[in-house]
Structure 1
Amino acid sequence: MDYHLQKMEEIFPQMINPLSNDVCMVGIYGFGGIGKTTIAKVLYNRFAAQFMITSFLANVREDSKSRGLLPLQKQLLNDILPRRKNFISNVDEGIRMIKDRLCFKKVLLVLDDVDDLNQLEALAGDHNWFGLGSRIIVTTRDKHLLEVHEMDALFEAKKLDHKQATELFSWNAFKQNHPKEDYEKLSNSVVHYVNGLPLGLKVLGCFLYGKTISQWESELHKMEREPNQKIQHVLKRSYDELDCTQKQIFLDVACFFNGEDKDFVTRILDACNFFAKSGIRVLSDKCLISIRDNNIWMHDLLRHLGRDIVRQEFPEDPGKWSRLCYPDVISHVLTRKMGTEAFKGILFDLSIPKWIHITTESFVMMKNLRLLKIILDRESTSMRDDYKVKLSKDFEFPSYELRYLYWHGYPLEYLPSSFYAEDLVELDMCYSSL
């Protein structure tokens, strides 16, 4: 974690400078498993000796939900002055006592995993609660929470680069700082899959420790379809805290729109009545997506999470999933005419040469289909004979809900006469026979 500490020193030296008499509140944010708590612990352990009073309140979110805020206030007061009698009967009394006891003392306080403004207001409400030179460090998954509380500096915990990720994974998988001989390629595959997430590197490294090459290969194949549940459990907490509409946006991005232009995605999702401007901002604040060059990006493991949430809707019956994005599953569903009203979106990547026959019956029950995207490689279709898409001449789209239709290489000369386009906001039929 020295990399993170170095970055923090560059971003806000006032946090590191022990001679500064300013009271400084620092927020560390990022999605689950990215290393926020580890960074806070590194800072706490490195600088604790320079403060009169120190306190590290771990798992604030979990403790406040299970026990309430009052026990956390009592824990803080006990850390401050363990020999004093700290009788408080409610949160307001706790606030007054914390302010009275700390306002002239140089304090290092860490509030780990905060998820509600009430937690901050009860434990570290304002700068004047603390004596000169105090440092308050808050970790959270919600950047907006830190902004509302007007923190002095914000630091985003980011994923590790390939070298750092390989080293962390190797310590857990091989008990050394580099992969064992014959495991280099497999290790690179795991590191690529985890995409710099420290939690994933530790969990998978420990899981694969001592296993054979064939067992590693088997587990890697499994993870592509069924992600590690220990990692998923940590990541899913942020998803569970979204409201219903925000969850729909998250799943649509995970299944269809990763890497797409934000304005383009907003236009389509607004047409689905998802209030996309607000929802995309919330997902960004909670670090479930990032916006770079006006494109929406989702970490690979979060994308796997979204697709696994869809799969878990009906694990044994993909005909009832809300979204389809695995090519082999889509082929299975379409050729067996398993489509249902549950389908809201389909992303069918046919860039790998394949033959498939799609009929009206394949789509007849998909009455709630909002998004249909069929991708193929134009060069492969013009240069190779082993790729074929066949549609019946009477092919129809039964859905009245289509907002987005993207079908490169559409093989018919006409759209169906019954095609309903009143609510369509995006139509892309390049390289087709229209």
Structure 2
Amino acid sequence: MATTPELAVEQQGRDHGLVRAMGVFAFAAAITNEVVGAGIYTLPAKMASSAGTTAPYAYIACLIAMGAVVLCFSEAGSRISTSGGPYGYVEAAFGKMLGFVAGVLLWLSAVLAAGGIAVAATDMAGAAFPFLVQPVVREILIVGLLAIMAGINIVGVDLAAKVLGWATMIKVLPLILFLVVGGIALAMGHRAEAPITHIPNANFGHAVILAMFALTGMETPLAASGEVRDPARTVPRALILAMGLIGLLYVAIQLIAATLFGAGLMHSAAPLADALGTIDPRLRAPLLAGACFSMVIWLGSDFLGAPRVLFAFARDGLLPAALGKVHPRWRTPHWAILVHFLFAVALALTGTFEQLAILSTLAIAPLYFLACASAVILRSRGIATLGKPLSLPGIPVIAGFGMLCMAIMVALADWNEIGALAGVLVGSCLLYLVMRPRTPKQS
């Protein structure tokens, strides 16, 4: 393991050419934008159909688990601030092979989610405008959405951060409308005629996995940590601020939607819009528009963070050198962004939202497991590359709890899904052994 000064030189070399332009607000906005994407508008229905009246408890269970993970990410991110985010934490703690595995999981989860959310955004737009469901038009729209987000991120990280910051503020307005109008309606006694009841064959484990998908995403903006200003302070503050607010938001929305719409929530394609529609049908339109806008802007955060994993791999000699190049004018990893775009397009054109969302969630659990363990190792070795790091009391206990929760999360999946995840882990190790830079033999 390298000493702290050697590690700092290595991390700074990996980020050479990038600009540290993002502060607390911009970085918290990127995290919020990444997490508050498709899930907040679509998953309340799937949660209700999977777990019935216990759906809010699935969110709470995930929030408790994610609380431990967020604290571990906050400490590790304050100690290692580099392109690739969790990839850098795990690599510094456990070596290059596990670092590579973590990076593969991070990128795979992000690109699967990008494809799924591009599909969801297009399908929701098709629900409002039927001509968009025609195959050719639908495919053009998918490619166009992804291309716009890729283009914004290629032009410059500062522009992307500003766009995401303002867009995040705009896209939460429909959610605020939902909370305010829905809360007032509940206070005035508005209730669904047929409330949600207990489901005899409820699948609480499936609901937990879906809730996990709704709450994941912070790891993708963290991959752009090499472009964060004063990272030892900015990373933990932005993480805790964003994830704390998101947790409260999700539970409140699930409870309001279930009370307003009742049993109808379990079969709704646009649950929040339909829930407000029970108060006044005219309220559906702003929620539908907000859902589409939210998904599109979510893609912006995905393209801000995930391609930096490919960039970090290339800078470390694990992928073709072209992916590690920075655009001479815009100072962004343009080739890495283009490759991410191509994979996202391929997935979106061949998969469904639910399939891609489940696979994305399962890829994240072992990454969170490794990141929690990394926080303990980095603390024990006194590693900090830029500034005084965060030092949380009880981090070994917090990390152990987070690791246990992630192991349980994987165990809740179907056996074929667990097998696919195991294949990814083994395949990543084999790929590293093939692609790792060779040390020249001494003569």
Superposition TM-score, scaled by structure 2 size: 0.22
- Bigger radius of gyration among the two: 1
Higher strand share: 1
Superposition TM-score, scaled by structure 1 size: 0.22
Higher helix share: 2
With CA pairs under 8 Å and 6+ residues apart, which has the higher RCO, 1 or 2? 2
